[in-house]
Amino acid sequence: MERLTRRVDRLEQHTQQIKSDLAVLTERSQNFATKTDVEGLRTDQFRLRCEMLEGFAQTSAQFARSDERFARVSDWTGQADNNFAAIDRQFEQIHKQFERVDENFARVDVKFARVDENFARVDEKFARVDEKFDQVYEKFDRVYEKFDRVDEKFDRLNDRITWTLMVPAVLAVLGWLAREFWIR
């Protein structure tokens, strides 16, 4: 019986530890990005790239129109050269900005990969927790079986006590009462 009590105590301790581990994992998993969040970011990234390409196309069309205008206005060549130099500097700045955007996208892709790895690890941890719960359920089943056997033993003991002690005692009392009433 002492051994059974110790086992039940250990089961309670393990169950409590599992509950606290599960609470920690649940709390942590609420801060993770979901697959829909990742997919939303990828969609936004694709949309931004499309907008950038469209912007490049529009800018190219604007340059073509500017070239036609500059060809028609030959007396303004000096001023046009200065304007083109300024535009080139702006495009260099824009190009640098796009390079930084591409670097940022590369970093975001790395972070998405890490998030995917984290999800895989969390899935593994949940699988381990499920295994532990299965083990606990198996142990509880064994404990229930032992309790059922103990209940059966107590029932048999009660039956033995009833038939070995109580029935003869009741018969003895009834016999004494019957003798007392017949004698008087």
User: CA angle, 9 as apex, 7 and 13 as ends, to 5°?
Assistant: 115
| Helix (H) or strand (E) run with residue 24 in it | helix 2-29
Is the confidence at residue 75, as pLDDT, over 70? no
107 domain-assigned: yes
Q: What is the pLDDT of residue 39?
A: 85
Is the confidence at residue 47, as pLDDT, over 80? yes
Is the confidence at residue 27, as pLDDT, over 90? no
What's the number of domains the chain is made of? 1
The tokens 């800018």 sit on which residue?
59
Q: In one letter, which amino acid is 31?
A: N
| Four-CA torsion 19, 24, 30, 32, nearest 10 degrees | -130
Q: Which of 11-20, 28-37, 51-60, 142-151 has the highest mean pLDDT?
A: 142-151
Higher pLDDT pick, 35 / 9? 9
Q: Domain limits at 53? A: 2-146
17 domain-assigned: yes
Q: Give the C-alpha separation, 163 to 146, whole Å.
A: 26
Is the confidence at residue 73, as pLDDT, over 70? no
Higher pLDDT pick, 158 / 163? 158
126-156 confidence digits (pLDDT tens)? 999 999 999 999 999 999 999 999 999 999 9
78-95 confidence digits (pLDDT tens)? 766 788 888 999 999 999
Strand, helix or coil for residue 30: coil
96 domain-assigned: yes
15 domain-assigned: yes
Is the confidence at residue 184, as pLDDT, over 80? no
167 domain-assigned: no
State mean pLDDT over 30-46. Answer: 79
Q: Give the C-alpha separation, 116 to 111, whole Å.
A: 9
38 domain-assigned: yes
Contacts of 53 (CB under 8 A, 6+ apart): none
Q: Would you mind telling me the total number of residues written for the chain in this entry? A: 184
157 domain-assigned: no
176 domain-assigned: no
Q: What is the pLDDT of residue 70?
A: 67
Give me the chain's average pLDDT, please. 86
